Structure 1
Amino acid sequence: MTEQAKENGPRFIEIDTHDSGQRIDNFLITRLKGMPKSRIYRLLRKGEVRVNKGRIKAHYRLRAGDRIRLPPMTLPARAREEESPEIQMMGRRLEECILYEDDELLAINKPSGMPVHGGSGLQGGVIEGLRQVRPEARFLELVHRLDKDTSGCLLIAKRKQALRELHRIFREDRVDKRYLALLNGVWRRPREMVDVSLRKFVLRGGERFVKVDREGKPSRTEFRTLERFTEATLVEARLLTGRTHQIRVHAAYLGHPILGDTRYGDEEANRRWRGKGLKRLFLHAWRLELPHPADGSRLRLEAPLDAELEYLLEALKKARS
């Protein structure tokens, strides 16, 4: 999702695949924290909120590419965000996580536990932190998303033209996206393509929950075994579609959920592995390969595992030998 605003002017939000499928009223309630629901519904009823220049009902479901126009309004949460020392510290931490940078884009190794943007009760995230420590930057926008608890490669566009081109590259499935995941139990197959449709539900608090459902969207993930341990299996997951929580739900569908997954995982297994030092979701976007938005040259980005995950893997290897 991209967002643009002029001081004292209207605000525009462009919807990406991550927010596609949500009702406009639920999206605005989540996005405009601190604004009374009654005012949000009044804005919708009076047509002050437009989608693709047209009036819409509160039950309208957003689609990727939709452009929302919000009328001029004061958002106190946004003002607080700009003065937040916590977001300033987040931004400084991110400056130490840079994997690659040029005039068109920036790639970071996003830490686990850090949201990509504010909303859903969160004051701020990656994009707000970077904007705060780079006040001179005229344009910084997320190209894609990672879940809050997932670490790894994340792209930020530094120019509007680069953002458009990168969105086109992602839409055309010209990005090779690979993740490392530690699955619960010993998975015996060397490789498997999971091809089952996923359906996204938005809970009352704005949280997303995804289920395998024939009525959902086509979703494909290729899993490849890298190493087997006594009670776990390290796999590489290659995303062939980009649905919300796709790898997590597909791993659970295989009967081997990702360790540390508190939403789709095995509660008892997670408790055992916390005792072994795993206190986060073991899912890491380790590699992105795609055409560069400026000249089409092949760009390959790799993000190392953080110390916690590396230490755990080393301990598992020693225990096995």
Structure 2
Amino acid sequence: MNLVHLDDDLIVVDKPPGLLSVPGRTEPDCAIARLQRQYPEALTVHRLDQATSGLLLFARGAAAQRALSLDFAQRRVNKRYIALVQGAVQAEGWQEIDQPLMADWPNRPRQKVDHARGKPSLTRWRVLAVEGVCTRLELEPVTGRSHQLRVHLLSLGHPIVGDTLYGGPDAERLMLHAALLHLPDRGLRLESRPDF
């Protein structure tokens, strides 16, 4: 993991794909465990899916964790992702996907769109480039549901390349990268380029 930012309150790393954010049931190796070897005060604030790469923020101590968790809960943290999706997507400007999501219990860890019982979930997106049979998108999750970006893009008929859980075409990895973290109240804006 590359260290991207360090200050008195927070640590931001660039998480590689395939690494858990927090320990799994049978997998202790994860971003927080690696970070705590050098910064034992590091605490989790948010997570990225194991297959997702990019910017991951940790708090330095309990007080910072409470403050940063509140920033996330009150949507004072802006996050943007880059994804490569199946198909040529034609759209101008920012678009929205407003589809309620819930756990697909018989098929956990999958999530699904459910208009009757799902939690409100909103994703903003725009086309960056059509690249042959794929499209590069910029994504902004307004809400932060589990697998939100992956399920929302599937609902458009454009699953993320490498997303075998949701029917995306095969690739060496999930083509989803947390590319921007912006904390305007703290004057902090961090960017990371995907390797795809």
Flag as ranges the 4+ runs of structure 1 deviating above 2 A: 201-204
The equivalent residue for 1:180 is 82
Whether 1:126 aligns to 2:31 is yes
Equivalent position amino acid for 2:103 in 1: K
Whether 1:199 aligns to 2:92 is no
TM superposition shift of 1:103: 1.5
TM superposition shift of 1:174: 1.1
The equivalent residue for 2:109 is 208
**Deviations 1:133-152 (CA, angstroms, capped at 9, x unpaired):** x2xx4511111000000000
The equivalent residue for 2:15 is 110
Pairing 1:1-80 to 2, within 5 Å after superposition: none
The equivalent residue for 1:284 is 177
Kept in 1: contact 2:81–2:178 (CA 8 A): yes
CA distance in structure 1 between the aligned counterparts of 2:29 and 2:77, rounded to whole angstroms? 27
CA distance in structure 2 between the aligned counterparts of 1:138 and 1:216, rounded to whole angstroms? 37
- What's the TM-score, normalizing by structure 2? 0.93
CA distance in structure 2 between the aligned counterparts of 1:212 and 1:131, rounded to whole angstroms? 36
* Corresponding residue pairs, total: 194
Gaps of 5+ in 1: 1-93, 310-321
TM superposition shift of 1:305: 1.7
The equivalent residue for 2:192 is 303
The equivalent residue for 1:251 is 153
TM superposition shift of 1:201: 3.6
> Which of structures 1 and 2 has the bigger CA Rg?
1
Kept in 1: contact 2:19–2:29 (CA 8 A): no
Gaps of 5+ in 2: none
Identity over aligned pairs, percent? 40
Say which structure, 1 or 2, has more relative contact order (CA 8 Å, 6+ apart).
2
